[in-house]
Amino acid sequence: MIRVQDIKLTLEEDSKDISLKVAKKLKIKPSDIKSYTLFKEAIDARKKEEIRLVYTVDIETPREAQLLKKYPQIQVAYEGYVYPESGEKELVHRPVVVGSGPCGLFAALLLAQCGYKPLVVERGKKVEDRVKDIAHFWQEGILQPNSNVQFGEGGAGTFSDGKLTTQIKNKRCRKVLEELVESGAPSDILYKSKPHVGTDVLRGVVKNLRERIIELGGEFRFETTLTGVKVKDNQLEAIYLNDEEVKTQVCVIAIGHSARDTFEMLYNAHLYMEQKPFSIGMRIEHLQEWINEAQYGKVKEHPKLGAAEYKLVHHCENGRTVYSFCMCPGGYVIASASEEGGVVTNGMSEHARDGINANSGILVNVVPKDYEDDHPLAGIKLQRYFENLAYRLGGKNYQAPVQRVGDFLKGRPTTEFGLVQPSYKPGVAFTNLRSELPDFMGEALEEALVEFGKKIKNFDHPDAVLTGFETRSSSPVRLLRDKLYQSNIRGLYPAGEGAGYAGGITSAAVDGIEVAEAIIHYYKKTQ
């Protein structure tokens, strides 16, 4: 099949017209197209009076060779994932994957598909039980430190928009999407330019991935924490799970960015790591209808468009960058703490994205010079400072501190809400967030909010609501590894977002696949 780009339809044209438009573009007969598959669908809303759906299409035609010669810009379509060949090194014990977020699940899936029967270890609970603990926390403010939005089957991404967009250009992205569809995700993620699953659907997908891995010989142990590693001559010999020794030569460290005790254990085990930049900020909520109006104008209610999104960035006069993060159309701001005495926010949408509010993180970049010292884990101290601050400002009961944008820009505390009602549970407390921020962060956010209001009408509306704080956008530490994906301790494979090598569901899953490939290339299957 060959790939044809830039096929445009109006909102009123039928998708059945795609093949006709492809034929016209290539100057061939419609009958020359034997079949076609959508590879990508995007919305071009740059001209609100002429919004278009733009398609990339893979077609099957007997004139393929002729068209490839005539149109050099045409590509041969993706032909599918090629599984790695096994290596020669003996693998005495089965590989262990620590963490069942996107990275860990996809590392385990590929290992299982290639016959390696991995053991998957997760400190939290399986997703069915995790959902109950999180609902209880949101309703009653009672936190389970090992079963929450950060910890448990599926990782933090399970309680998000389930956004699958990524900036990486990697052929494995397609495998990730195909495996998600195989496990119950909607098939349109294969071609939507901004695919998402939604937290309600993603929970079932995660469960199905687990069951597929088990069917292929894998094993899961929930409520099980990596508590130590046993190393001899710089080679991994065993790991400790809830302090019980388990022998293995290979362990994938896919722990996520909130496993702070595990980072500390690995640091004490002399695994090389370094400080890494990350970002801190707040969640901002608007009425979704404002965003729809700003992005789509008069056709904002058209069924082909759905809830509108945005992506914003501003480079500030003080040298900082402020950007929107994990935008959740029709979504909710959620309580995402994993440690007692701290408040953490994040965003979440269901597949339908039909909530009243839109929200996103508005984050300011933080660099190692902002840290207290040069210790590799110093960024965690900064995270905890803001999380503890939010806990105190919220009333020490896991309510979150909030401020209207109008009050933030004027530096005064909020005393009442306007048109936008916050969605955060278990509740919120009025405060003056602006007065609590360091100068570099407060100045950058003030400047950016005004600039974003020039790009998206009503973004700086006085009634928009800021909720503090978002601290877990990415890992503040990187676990070092070489070109073979191994750390300085042979057999330990740092991977994914927590280890500092990914930034989102798809890129984390791809990193898990690449690490699994490295293991497969080097080792034989266990017998």
SS3 of 86-106: the string is CCCECCCCCCEEECCCHHHHH
Give 327-375 pLDDT, tens digit per residue: 999 999 999 999 999 999 999 999 999 999 999 999 999 999 999 999 9
Measured in degrees and rounded to the nearest 5, phi and psi for residue 118 equal -70, 155
Same-domain check for residues 295 and 263: no
- Is the domain of 115 the same as that of 168? yes
User: Average pLDDT of the chain?
Assistant: 96
Helix axes 127-140, 199-215, angle to 10 degrees: 150
Q: What percent of the chain has pLDDT over 90?
A: 96
pLDDT at residue 316 tops 90: yes
Q: What is the mean pLDDT of residues 455-470?
A: 98
- Mean local confidence (pLDDT), 205-225: 98
CB 493 within 8 A of CB 507: no
Residue 75 pLDDT class (50, 70, 90 cuts): confident
> Are 463 and 486 part of one and the same domain?
no
Claim to verify: residue 336 and residue 196 sit in the same structural domain: no
Residues 372 and 435 both lie in one domain: yes
User: Do 462 and 507 belong together in one domain?
Assistant: no
Mean local confidence (pLDDT), 91-95: 95
Preceding amide of 95 cis, omega within 30? no
Do residues 355 and 330 share a domain? Answer: yes
Domain that holds residue 50: 2-76
Whether 525 shows a pLDDT value over 90: the answer reads: no
Task: Report yes or no on 84 lying in a domain.
Answer: no
Whether residues 499 and 459 share a domain: the answer is no
Lowest mean pLDDT among 64-73, 205-214, 224-233, 389-398: 64-73
The CATH code of the domain that includes 145 is 3.50.50.60
CATH code, 40: 3.30.70.2700
Q: What is this structure's pTM?
A: 0.96
Q: What is the pLDDT of residue 474?
A: 95
**pLDDT of 368-390, one tens digit each?**
999 999 999 999 999 999 999 99
Q: Nearest Cα to 237, choosing from 522, 524, 507, 489?
A: 489
In the prediction, which pLDDT does 85 show?
A: 95
Q: Which of 76, 106, 141 is a domain's end point? A: 76
- Among 159-168, 219-228, 490-499, which stretch is predicted with the lowest mean pLDDT? 159-168
In a domain, residue 68? The reply is yes
pLDDT digits (tens, 9 = 90+) for 32-41: 999 999 999 9
Q: Provide the number of structural domains found in the chain.
A: 3
Segment 68-87 shows an average pLDDT of: 90
Each residue's pLDDT tens digit, 252-296: 999 999 999 999 999 999 999 999 999 999 999 999 999 999 999
Quick one: 269 and 308 in the same domain?
no
**pLDDT per residue as tens digits for the range 171-201:** 999 999 999 999 999 999 999 999 999 999 9
Paired tokens of 9: 């339809």
**Final residue before a domain boundary, out of 24, 43, 76:** 76
Residues 161 and 282 grouped into a single domain: no
Query: 191 in a domain, yes or no?
Result: yes
Query: Does 86 reside within a domain?
Result: no
347 with 160: CB under 8 angstroms? yes
Confidence band, pLDDT 50/70/90 cuts, at residue 68? very high
266, two tokens: 């690995």
- Residue 303 CB neighbour total at 10 angstroms: 6
Report yes or no on 31 lying in a domain.
yes
What pLDDT is recorded for position 299? 95
∠ CA 194-197-203, rounded to 5°: 155
Mean pLDDT over 420-434 rounds to 97
Please, which pLDDT band fits residue 78 given cuts at 50, 70 and 90? confident
Confidence of residue 79 (pLDDT cuts 50, 70, 90): confident
* Domain closes at, from 448, 470, 492: 470
DSSP classification of residue 445: H
Is residue 85 included in any domain, yes or no? no
**527 confidence band (pLDDT: 50, 70, 90):** low
In a domain, 305, yes or no: yes
Sign of CA dihedral 9, 12, 15, 17: negative
Q: Are residues 384 and 446 in the same domain?
A: yes
pLDDT at 125: 98
Q: 51 and 122: one domain?
A: no
